[in-house]
Structures are given as C-alpha cells and as structure tokens.
Amino acid sequence: MLAFDQSHSPLLVGAIVLVVVAMVAWALQLMQAASDRKEFSLMLAGCMVCSAAIGLATVMVMTLTSADRLHAQGYLSPMEGAESELIGGGVSLDAISLPWDVAER
C-alpha cells in the first residue's frame, strides 16, 4: 500500500470539497433547466450528479477517518492482538444499535 503524505492532506481535502461543491452546483443547474424546460431527463441527470457528489464525499470521509489514518495521527492506540482503542476523540460507533446486536443480548 502506498504511504499517504500527511503534508498534502489539507490540499487534497480542499480539492475534493471544491469538486463536490461544483458537482452539487452543476446538479442544481441541471434540475433548474429541467424545471424550466419541463424535461424529466435533465432532472434525472441532476439527481445522478448529486448522488455522485454524495458518494465522493462519503468515500472522502471514510478514507480520511480510516483506522490506519487514525493510528498514524495518534488518535488510535495499538493494543495487543487485533483490537484497537480510540484515544481522545476520533470516531465512536457505540451509539449505533444494529438488529443482530439486540438479538445477541
């Protein structure tokens, strides 16, 4: 796996955020044109572009908050075995209750 240079991280995040904002603006323009021209295909195109922007933002958040990055930034402490513990912030999923978790209790 390639090492990720921490110094370029803010530039990369900024660039991706600008791309997402531009995609949402383009989607809104397509939807406005669809409303003006009464064309359903432009509305679908706008929804697809907006969905792509949401997907890009989701992948960015998942990538930037992965366990490897949290460990590299010092938020995740290495423990014995395959377990890890979050230190002083980071991401906590303790409040999420999944259906199969309730059945085990």
Q: Quick: pLDDT tens for 50-66.
A: 999 999 999 888 877 77
Cα 52 to Cα 70: distance, rounded to the nearest angstrom: 26
- Helix, strand, coil shares of the chain, percent, nearest 5, are 65, 5, 30
User: Residue 8: what residue type?
Assistant: H
DSSP 51-91: HHHHHHHHHHHHHHTSHHHHHHTTSEEE-STT-EEE-SSS-
Banded pLDDT at 10 (limits 50, 70, 90): confident
Handedness of CA 12, 15, 18, 23 (dihedral sign): negative
Q: Can you give the residue ranges of every domain in the chain? A: 8-104
More confident residue, 52 or 90: 52
Per-residue confidence at 1, pLDDT binned at 50, 70, 90? very low
More confident residue, 88 or 17: 17
